[in-house]
Amino acid sequence: MRSYFASLQSGRGLAAIAVLLFHVWQMAHDRLGREFAEGWFVNGNRGVDFFFVLSGFIILHTNQRHLGMPSEAPRYFYRRIIRIYPILIFLTLVKLGYMLISGAGVPAEKGDFSYILCSTLLIPLPMFPFMSASWTLCFELFFYSLFLLAILYGRPLFWLLASHAVVCLVLNLPCFPELAFPARFFFSPYILDFYLGCATAYLCRNNLVNIAAARVLVLAGLLLLLAGNFFCDRLQAMMTTLFTLYWGLGSFCLVTGMAAWEQKRALFIPRWLSFLGDASYSIYLVHGNVLLIGGVLIARHLNVLDSHLNLTLSLLAVTALLISLLCYQFVEMPLLRWLQQSGPNRIEASGHPVKTGCV
């Protein structure tokens, strides 16, 4: 069974960069009152749907044989925890240090201790967390917890999870009013992305998608995402809270097609592109802090930089990407390797650790 998909890893990297460019556009629009790149990246935040679909796929694909095996639960959850928390805690400390030194650009309410603690522990909150990008990690931790239950209790839990997916779908139909917190979190349409990723894992594991269908799915996914970018407002007005599902379906087609295609035929993916995927978690978390500081500096000198604002913002985006890659290379990876070596490892009969894919 293939455990590493270079095409999906590359897609993860491109999705992280799309989110980065969206946040550059958002900063220019909200803080500077200017437009970046003529609004081309206004839907870059939909990269999170790709992340969620991919997360559901990878978790089930790499752990399916452990369903109903409680002995695997500690190893599984340890690997999930060290994947999320160490770099999040490190960057939270960096942001706290910035607040103590300057704090420019950070809202005053973000200084509350209980708010910072809950945000760092990824306890769901009704507002954006201290590290704004980490709102998606609350969903990731929830996904991991659902799968932990599946490992503990096995396939009988399938019907409970299937019911949860149906309730998430029904409660987000346009005919229903928007849910209040915390129901808004536990029945979010983003959870449907995760279940779509699990469906991808089932299709690929059972070889239900041939090479021709895989190519059609990749094309369909690209067309759906492209159409969503051009008809965003119309789709959002029509689908309201289920608008997320549209992007989830596009990502599902793309992830399923690429995974099935690569499963049957090796694809040439440039190493630098898959490297971006390897570093995607650092890209996703680090860039916000860089844009925060960069946005403050640009706002202070806007009268000078206004005539070259697109170039300035582009350089800021490149700077955020480079700093993210350095963080991955010199902070995230050394820390992750050390924690993986310190924790429980699963050893096959050959005596070699099992490769865990691109999570």
**First vs last Cα of the chain: how many Å apart?**
16
Residue type, 47: G
Under 8 Å between Cβ of 224 and 246: yes
On the question of pLDDT at 30 being above 60, the answer is yes
**Average pLDDT over the chain, rounded to an integer:** 89
pLDDT of 340 reads 85
On the question of pLDDT at 263 being above 80, the answer is yes
Beta pairing partners, 353: 347
pLDDT of 350 reads 32
Under 8 Å between Cβ of 259 and 200: yes
Compute the distance between CA of residue 87 and CA of residue 91 in angstroms, rounded to an integer: 6
| 238 or 11, greater pLDDT | 11
**What band does 78 get if pLDDT is binned at 50, 70 and 90?**
very high
On the question of pLDDT at 348 being above 50, the answer is no
On the question of pLDDT at 124 being above 70, the answer is yes
Compute the distance between CA of residue 333 and CA of residue 278 in angstroms, rounded to an integer: 10
pLDDT > 90: percent of the chain: 67
pLDDT of 354 reads 36
Cα four-point dihedral sign 303, 306, 312, 314: positive
On the question of pLDDT at 217 being above 80, the answer is yes
- Could you tell me the two tokens for 271? 């190493």
On the question of pLDDT at 266 being above 90, the answer is no
Rounded mean pLDDT, 126-140:
92
**What band does 353 get if pLDDT is binned at 50, 70 and 90?**
very low
**What band does 345 get if pLDDT is binned at 50, 70 and 90?**
low
The residue among 264, 268, 270 whose CA lies nearest residue 215 is: 264
What is the tens place of the pLDDT at every residue in 142-159?
Answer: 999 999 999 999 878 888
Per the document, the length of the chain is 359
What is the tens place of the pLDDT at every residue in 86-111?
Answer: 999 999 999 888 888 877 767 777 77
Greatest CA span in the chain, whole angstroms? Answer: 66
Under 8 Å between Cβ of 353 and 346: yes
pLDDT of 241 reads 83
Please give the full DSSP string across 45-110, using - where no structure is assigned: GGHHHHHHHHHHHHHHHHHGGGTT-GGGHHHHHHHHHHHHHHHHHHHHHHHHHHHHHT-TTS-GGG
pLDDT of 13 reads 95
On the question of pLDDT at 247 being above 70, the answer is yes
What is the tens place of the pLDDT at every residue in 31-49?
Answer: 889 999 888 899 999 999 9
On the question of pLDDT at 85 being above 90, the answer is yes
pLDDT of 137 reads 96
**CB within 8 Å of 282: residues ≥ 6 apart:** 87, 324, 325, 327, 328, 331, 332
Compute the distance between CA of residue 299 and CA of residue 104 in angstroms, rounded to an integer: 11
pLDDT of 275 reads 94
Work out the number of other CB atoms within 10 angstroms of the CB of residue 146. Answer: 19
CB environment 14-25: b (16+ within 10 A), e (fewer): ebbbbbbbbbbb
Rounded mean pLDDT, 218-243:
90
DSSP 170: H
| 3 or 334, greater pLDDT | 334
Compute the distance between CA of residue 147 and CA of residue 157 in angstroms, rounded to an integer: 10
The residue assigned the tokens 């590290």 is: 131
What is the tens place of the pLDDT at every residue in 283-311?
Answer: 999 999 999 899 989 998 888 888 899 99
pLDDT of 327 reads 96
On the question of pLDDT at 59 being above 50, the answer is yes
Compute the distance between CA of residue 332 and CA of residue 85 in angstroms, rounded to an integer: 11
* The model's pTM: 0.91
Phi-psi category of 126—alpha, beta or left, where left has phi over 0 and alpha has psi -120 to 50? Answer: alpha
